[in-house]
Structure 1
Amino acid sequence: MPVNPQLVDREFPPTSPYLVGREKVREFARAVFADAPIHHDPDAAKALGYADVVAPPTFAMVVQDQTLQQLLADPDAGIVLSRVLHGEQRFRYTRPIVAGDELTARLHVRSVRAVGGNAMVTSEAEIVGADGEHVVTATSILVVGGDA
């Protein structure tokens, strides 16, 4: 089943709130070798004006993943997980993610295009805080392999 072109402009429901934990930020920072003190030490982060430790920029992927799971679980999408490669990732921040943030995300499918027998699905996850204010937009391009 090819990727459904009717996914374009589709908007998925908001995700459940994700509470950003201090230890999750520290674990993620260690995993991506982000060793700046603001990622590990609350006092260092507070000295720079933050309420708690600051997540590395790619941490937004943790929240965006919830939205991508909605897309991948949609039986009408025509996306088979075993044929998916993560082709590109971008982030556009309004402010950093900080431990204690409660974030929700909403996925919008921006385009589906055929490229050499494969499909490229571009989506944007708008991630907002508990106050509804924008935190980051995470853009992913998934490459979905065609039939063997």
Structure 2
Amino acid sequence: MREFAVAVKAEHPAHHDVDAAAVLGHRDLVAPPTFAVVVAQRAEAAVVADDEVGIDFSRVVHADERFTHHSPILAGDTLHAQATLDRIRVMGAGAMVTTKVEITTAEGEARSTVTSSLLVRAEEEDA
């Protein structure tokens, strides 16, 4: 978590120092808000790789990512991610595919909802 904070230049002390996180009422380090993408992308990858979904990842362009945070992700959390295919909208020579990933703790506490949109270009013969 500290390495992620350094990589994204998140300088708040609660991302680096347990005592600073404790002053804010947290039991451990607080993840930077965009840390949820680490968990969400793994769940989204399972959706994209599903043969029934039929997405050729080599034809994907990431279009949008939105985070709704319910409570902070903390160091030591065991996280679960449930990905759903939220929407498919055909557009010209491709489709916009939107996934939604609900991130919770092992105890079922909501941490974040990550909504991601991928533009999937059609095969040349399908265009």
Shorter-chain-normalised TM-score: which range? over 0.9
RMSD of aligned residue pairs (Cα, Å): 1.0
Matched with 1:3 is: none
Question: Residue 29 of structure 1 aligns to which amino acid in structure 2?
Answer: A
Instruction: Tell me the SS of whatever aligns to 1:34.
Output: coil
Per-residue deviation, residues 87-124 of structure 1 (Å, max 9, x unmatched) = 10111111010101111011111110111212111111
Question: Runs of 4 or more off by more than 4 Å in structure 1?
Answer: none
Per the TM alignment, residue 75 of structure 1 is displaced from its structure 2 partner at its CA by 1.3
Instruction: Tell me the SS of whatever aligns to 1:119.
Output: strand
Q: Higher relative contact order at CA 8 Å, sep ≥6: structure 1 or structure 2?
A: 1
Q: Does 1:39 align with 2:22?
A: no
Unaligned ranges ≥5, structure 1: 1-24
Per the TM alignment, residue 76 of structure 1 is displaced from its structure 2 partner at its CA by 2.1
Per the TM alignment, residue 147 of structure 1 is displaced from its structure 2 partner at its CA by 1.4
Give the number of aligned pairs: 124
2:30 pairs with 54, 59, 65, which one?
Answer: 54
Question: Residue 100 of structure 1 aligns to which amino acid in structure 2?
Answer: G
Instruction: Tell me the SS of whatever aligns to 2:68.
Output: strand
Q: TM-score, normalised by structure 1?
A: 0.80
Q: Following the alignment from structure 1 to structure 2, what is the Cα–Cα distance between the partners of residues 108 and 68?
A: 8
Per the TM alignment, residue 66 of structure 1 is displaced from its structure 2 partner at its CA by 1.9
Identify, as 1 or 2, the structure richer in strand.
2
